[in-house]
Structure 1
Amino acid sequence: MAFESLSERLQNALKMFRGNGKLTEEDLKAPMREVRMALLEADVNFKVVKDFVAKVKERAVGEAIGEGLNPHQQIIKIVNEELIELLGGTQSKLTVAPKPPTVIMLVGLQGAGKTTTAGKLANYLKRKHKKPLLVAGDVYRPAAITQLQVLGEQLNVPVFTLGDKVSPVEIAQKAMEKAHSLACDTVIIDTAGRLHINEELMEELRNIKGAVHPQEILLVVDAMTGQDAVTVAESFDKELGIDGLIVTKLDGDARGGAVLSVKAVTGKPVKLIGLGEKLDALEPFHPDRMASRILGMGDILTLVEKIQSTTDLAKALEMEKKLRKDEFTLEQFLDQMQQVKKLGSLETILGLIPGMGGISQKLKEANVDEKEFDRIEAIIRSMTKKERQKPEIINGSRRKRIAAGCGMRVQDVNKLLKNFEESKKMMKRMQGMAKFASKGGFKLPFGR
């Protein structure tokens, strides 16, 4: 994730606080210097860092330690609260038109990922039981029109296009008529970008805005551009007026400063974030949850939501029955593994569990390969139905055939079968978690 380095440095800085009395200015000196450097290296705006450190110091010096807290916990509490405020305070939801359709206009520079984001947004809204219409308004890049049509086909979402010979303003206007005829309640307009901000681009966007009066003008920015993303946001807001941002590629090696700086610098909230390439890798931005992730406190609420949205309750209950009767087979194991994969990468899942964020780095150092999932799947699919249901019948000759069938070694098949019994126990725990989450009664033995 983008904040991996920042997260580690902040956590190390905050561990420097010890003792039981009130925090003094001297206590804060070294740790806050580390906090300052960590934020600057994460590409957070200099003035934002200065104000953040000043606020934390002002609140921490001489403040009575809260009941049941030590200085370390007290400073984490203060830093967490100030981080939440810096990130926008509360979640900023998408505005919905009082009378459909709601019009969302995506703007931004070329290469920020607008077209892909349009598809992700349509998928996100579809999961929220909305009926979106994608509009191909980038007439200067024919590939963008084709890309949007392909995305629409994958998502089973209608795409409106008049080709690349019609003005974007006319396309937007005609799209509104199409939305009414198809009974679509949301219109997502993909607009053209440029390599840099210019008057021609802004004039065109202003004309589209004047023609369809969007409820949301969302600027799509790439997290990996760092402070440039904030500069772009300021320019677009000044020239066009934006309602919020969608930050893409927040799962990459970016320093993430854009997300930490943008609200404080522009006053505009981050509304959605992209955390991967898949079409379901777009999620609402929650300042409190992001602050929690950065400080290594996890994000249980997002994990629960992921489980709820990806778990098939009927399958979960059937699985639980099988587990109780000790009838868990390799066939069910494969099915359950696919459910887990839907939650996202191992690194993403660990980052949501309190205290587990740092483990993802250890897994990288240990060369733990997430493609192991694919290898296990290949081995199981190389088995017959009977072998998957009754793994105990897999003798030496069957193991050789299975290995040859999937291009693996016999040792790989042996390893899978050897670990299968232990995996049963793990699957029982995971299945129980999914069941409770699906019923809204998810509980873990630790708090947020």
Structure 2
Amino acid sequence: MFDSLSEKLESVFKKLRGQGVMTEDNIKEALREVRLALLEADVNFKVVKDFVESVRVKAVGTEVVQSLTPGQQVIKIVHDELVAVMGGNEDNGLNLSAKPPVAIMMVGLQGAGKTTTCGKLGRHLKNQKRRPLLVPADVYRPAAIEQLTTVGRQLGLEVFNSSADQKPVDICSAAMRFAELNGFDTVILDTAGRHQIDDFLMNELAEIKAAVLPLEILFVADAMTGQEAVNVAGGFNERLDITGVVLTKLDGDAKGGAALSVRAVTGKPVKFVGLGEKLDALEVFHADRLVSRILGMGDVLTLVEKAQSVFDEKETARLQQKLKKNQFDLEDFLAQLQQIKKMGSLESLMGMIPGMGKMMKQMQGAQPSENEMKRIEAIIRSMTPGERANHGIINGSRRLRIAKGSGTTVQEVNQLLKRFTEAQKVVKQLQKLGPKGLLKGMGGLGKGMLPFG
């Protein structure tokens, strides 16, 4: 979503890095370009005005830290101010401290992804060792109740039984009683939406709020709608006093202005962001991490958290032992590919590694693609267990069979086997050398020696 903004800010920062000495004039010029970049990204004009003025005051009046160049100092100030605009390091966690069951009311317009977000939030809470109950209370949209029921089934979450002939407030009240009697500690209410704010909708939501006394009222906003999402959030906040915002479709190709503006305009924190249609594509919002991604600095913490949530410690230890014994085979390689896929798209993962997002753009498609990973998976799945365990037995006729079975060519099968063989050799040599031997081997490059032979 932030590609265009990132490129423009990177251009500004590139000029700043070339400045030996920062003056008020070149700071003013740089901030003019930052201002234009933010406005073009659809950031609220008042937010931009306040932001630029705050950066200007701090940049002109600051002393340069000894370890930073003047240009780097301005970049740091821009980074810190962007983080502040988006909520700083405030605690964005849900308030679940009351006696259970705790009600979370999800509100928003139609098409923002509210029902799917209810499921994603339920999954998140289930992973936090809570027992959530999903409640379909949208009786107006066709198939809304069925949609949430389907989502709940896919995620292994309980869904309260409701029907379109009931009143939403009655559904929510009955669900709270059901939750209390059946040991659910959290109740997620999927309320109705409209194409725009109207009195009927708001009165109904206010009635539900009065009946169930939710600790959290989360406004679900479609980040693709830009400033309109911010304006609608303000309307819901005025009538319901929302406690936070969930931004969906943050993986889209919109300019990203809503994400940068909504906290400053509403005064309410962004608590979660949706980064795709998959039911695990919901992240706790961290302002500093998102700003780091926008400024091309990566987001290693989120990458580590994703890895920890996906990779099994026992499986990882087992694979390490196989690597040490040089027994890592294609079956293990396939298992690793599947684990990586659970973490998200390759593009999003690479973007979390500092500098890698920019490098991917420069490579213009040379990096591994999702389609290539699918081809590799198809090729390995077309092999027999014996072939995966010992790829050395794969002769010409076997390669032809594997190619036909995977919908690929013999050349592509050969390419995969060649790469895997080369990788095994490198791992074997690394195990032999150890850390000291590897350093010694690398040092020999200056004398015309190869590091591994």
Q: TM-score range by the shorter chain?
A: over 0.9
d(CA) in 1 for partners of 2:284, 2:427 = 29
- Which residue pairs with 1:121 in the alignment? 121
d(CA) in 1 for partners of 2:364, 2:242 = 39
- Which residue pairs with 2:85 in the alignment? 86
- Which residue pairs with 2:245 in the alignment? 245
Q: Deviations over 1:344-390 (max 9, x none)?
A: 11111111111112134345555853121111111111111100000
- Which residue pairs with 2:34 in the alignment? 35
RMSD, aligned CA: 1.7
- Which residue pairs with 2:446 in the alignment? none
Q: Following superposition of structure 1 onto structure 2, how do residues 263-278 of structure 1 map, counting pairs within 5 Å?
A: 263-278=263-278
Q: Is the 8 A contact 2:107 2:114 kept in 1?
A: yes
d(CA) in 1 for partners of 2:270, 2:113 = 16
The 1:183/1:399 distance shift into structure 2, 3 A limit, reads: same
Q: Which runs of 5+ in 1 are unaligned?
A: 429-448
d(CA) in 1 for partners of 2:108, 2:366 = 39
Q: Following superposition of structure 1 onto structure 2, how do residues 200-211 of structure 1 map, counting pairs within 5 Å?
A: 200-211=200-211
d(CA) in 2 for partners of 1:426, 1:161 = 57
Q: Percent of pairs identical after alignment?
A: 58
d(CA) in 2 for partners of 1:53, 1:85 = 13
d(CA) in 2 for partners of 1:9, 1:19 = 16
d(CA) in 2 for partners of 1:22, 1:85 = 27
The code of the aligned residue for 1:13 comes to V
Q: Is the 8 A contact 1:307 1:343 kept in 2?
A: yes
Q: Following superposition of structure 1 onto structure 2, how do residues 383-394 of structure 1 map, counting pairs within 5 Å?
A: 383-394=383-394
TM-score (norm 2): 0.91
Offset at residue 183 of structure 1 (A): 0.7
Q: Following superposition of structure 1 onto structure 2, how do residues 179-258 of structure 1 map, counting pairs within 5 Å?
A: 179-258=179-258
Q: Is the 8 A contact 1:402 1:413 kept in 2?
A: yes
The 1:426/1:29 distance shift into structure 2, 3 A limit, reads: farther
- Which residue pairs with 1:17 in the alignment? 16
d(CA) in 1 for partners of 2:148, 2:425 = 44
- Which residue pairs with 1:307 in the alignment? 307
Q: Is the 8 A contact 1:331 1:388 kept in 2?
A: yes
TM-score (norm 1): 0.92
d(CA) in 2 for partners of 1:425, 1:53 = 54
Q: Is the 8 A contact 1:23 1:60 kept in 2?
A: no
Number of aligned residue pairs = 427
Q: Deviations over 1:154-208 (max 9, x none)?
A: 1111001320000000000000011112211110000000011000000000000
Offset at residue 33 of structure 1 (A): 1.6
**Bigger CA drift: 171-180 or 6-15?**
6-15
The 1:119/1:18 distance shift into structure 2, 3 A limit, reads: closer
Q: Is the 8 A contact 1:22 1:65 kept in 2?
A: no
Q: Deviations over 1:80-111 (max 9, x none)?
A: 11011000112421111321112110000010
Q: Is the 8 A contact 1:134 1:159 kept in 2?
A: yes
Larger radius of gyration: 2
The code of the aligned residue for 1:6 comes to L
The 1:425/1:45 distance shift into structure 2, 3 A limit, reads: farther
- Which residue pairs with 1:438 in the alignment? none
Q: Is the 8 A contact 1:133 1:160 kept in 2?
A: yes
Offset at residue 342 of structure 1 (A): 1.3
Q: Deviations over 1:248-275 (max 9, x none)?
A: 0000101111111111111111100000
Q: Deviations over 1:378-409 (max 9, x none)?
A: 11111111000000111111101111122211
Offset at residue 335 of structure 1 (A): 0.4
- Which residue pairs with 1:404 in the alignment? 404
Offset at residue 421 of structure 1 (A): 2.8
The 1:422/1:269 distance shift into structure 2, 3 A limit, reads: farther
Offset at residue 288 of structure 1 (A): 1.1
The 1:19/1:255 distance shift into structure 2, 3 A limit, reads: closer
d(CA) in 2 for partners of 1:252, 1:157 = 28
The 1:364/1:21 distance shift into structure 2, 3 A limit, reads: closer
d(CA) in 2 for partners of 1:324, 1:338 = 22
The 1:342/1:233 distance shift into structure 2, 3 A limit, reads: same
- Which residue pairs with 2:75 in the alignment? 76
